[in-house]
Structure 1
């Protein structure tokens, strides 16, 4: 009898332990495994399209001496366009904006649609330049004169008062200078004379400074340049020849 009582007590105690174990909630470790893992998607960096940028050049003009065509293509497929016609005694400027899209049959053909007039124009996109097409999307005669290169801005350290000067890299050429490999850089200068006096710009007034603090003299196309009249803006191509072993840093106006 005593043995049976001990056995019953032991069984009862084990049953209580089992019941108390079943009543306990799951352990934190088990709960962590049961929770679904949150997979947060990381934002992807959007690449800027290759055609994005600023393009600028002089192009032929039937009704004027020359015409400046300056267009910026933005990543959201909008554009801003500035056209300046140059006459002997005056200039005429037009600014416009709109949207553009690529031809489904020709991935390099761009159709511009002006916001105000819905006027359409056509360009073909190449690696570092645009080419202005005619209204039928065809390549023009003397098409090389309608090529508009992509430009890059450079800092201008300007000592002239009341004069604003901007310079954009227009063309890069590899040349031989004094039997050494050199680079000819041509910049597109926009010179805005805001003073009340005519401004004279000479080759010797402009130098290119590289990352080693070397200076390279300028050569202005069609030099000597006629004086820029008060409150007028003029445009010129300015070239520098610098060493292959250095990088251009800024342009200094003395």
Structure 2
């Protein structure tokens, strides 16, 4: 899964090479140049060629995408989208309130947006070059997605969500192993496949993780940042950085999602997240 998101590595490589990094980084920069990006370029295609190109591109982006969103009328808003190689999808949207939660599950298939041809240059419009429709089983369009360098931009149709006025960026995620010492608490982790430079003179990266925490006990669960540690394959440990809004107590028999960050070099291979 990590090798599928070359565009994310492009941003990292360009920044490192700008600071006089090694020849290896320069080779990576050439390998991930705009000419080699997997996003399709605007070109005139027949209907058959467009369908084939759509299938190939979506196949390259098959996987899981997730976003933890602010919510004015609820405690949390989580969107999880799964794209499959056969151009089907599963979308799970959860809004968590203090005493209850609302969940919406949608399945269907992915349909490429027909490129718009302009009279001036007879090429597809850039606004539709990388767009796809998420269509339900009955053929109704549920949302529009667009490929970007950092994941998927998702735009729910107006009748589907109160957040339809703005586009949501869904980050590609990959499952991460968790060593959990807490009883009656189920914790799952996903690594967010996007990076940001912490210090240009020191190749330390801020790596983000999404944690799904289900407090199955009869007691309120209170987690601190010091309770979470990331261990790499060389058994080095890294402390967690958690924003205050994600450290609120988790009531008994409730599920919450938090975002956790760990700062470690790009060369480090993360192995497991330990929960004390």
- Note whether the superposition's TM-score is higher than 0.5: yes
Match of 1:176 in 2: 199
Mapped contact 1:202–1:224 kept (Cα < 8 A): no
Match of 2:103 in 1: 93
- State how 1:1-254 maps to structure 2 within 5 Å: 49-59=59-69, 61=71, 63-105=73-115, 106-115=128-137, 118-133=140-155, 135=157, 143=167, 146-170=168-192, 171-176=194-199, 180-222=202-244, 225-254=247-276
Q: Report the CA distance shift for 1:208/1:231 in structure 2 as closer, same or farther (over 3 A).
A: same
RMSD: 2.6
Q: Secondary structure at the match of 1:49?
A: helix
Q: Secondary structure at the match of 2:249?
A: coil
Number of residue equivalences: 203
Runs (5+) with no aligned partner, structure 1: 1-45
Mapped contact 2:61–2:83 kept (Cα < 8 A): yes
Provide the TM-score with structure 2 as the length reference. 0.66
Q: Report the CA distance shift for 1:107/1:238 in structure 2 as closer, same or farther (over 3 A).
A: same
Mapped contact 2:246–2:259 kept (Cα < 8 A): no
Mapped contact 2:155–2:166 kept (Cα < 8 A): no
Distance in 1 (alpha carbons) for counterparts of 2:237 and 2:179 = 13
Distance in 2 (alpha carbons) for counterparts of 1:61 and 1:107 = 31
Provide the TM-score with structure 1 as the length reference. 0.71
Per-residue Cα deviation, 1:157-186 (whole angstroms, up to 9, x for no partner): 111122111111124222129x63211111
Match of 2:4 in 1: none
Q: Report the CA distance shift for 1:165/1:71 in structure 2 as closer, same or farther (over 3 A).
A: same
Per-residue Cα deviation, 1:122-167 (whole angstroms, up to 9, x for no partner): 111224411123549xxx7654xx1111111211111112211111
Distance in 2 (alpha carbons) for counterparts of 1:169 and 1:191 = 15
Q: Report the CA distance shift for 1:248/1:235 in structure 2 as closer, same or farther (over 3 A).
A: same
Q: Secondary structure at the match of 2:108?
A: strand
Q: Report the CA distance shift for 1:60/1:163 in structure 2 as closer, same or farther (over 3 A).
A: closer
Runs (5+) with no aligned partner, structure 2: 1-55, 116-127, 159-163
Distance in 2 (alpha carbons) for counterparts of 1:245 and 1:129 = 22
1:195 to partner: Cα distance? 1.7
Distance in 1 (alpha carbons) for counterparts of 2:169 and 2:246 = 27
Who wins on radius of gyration, i.e. which is larger? 1
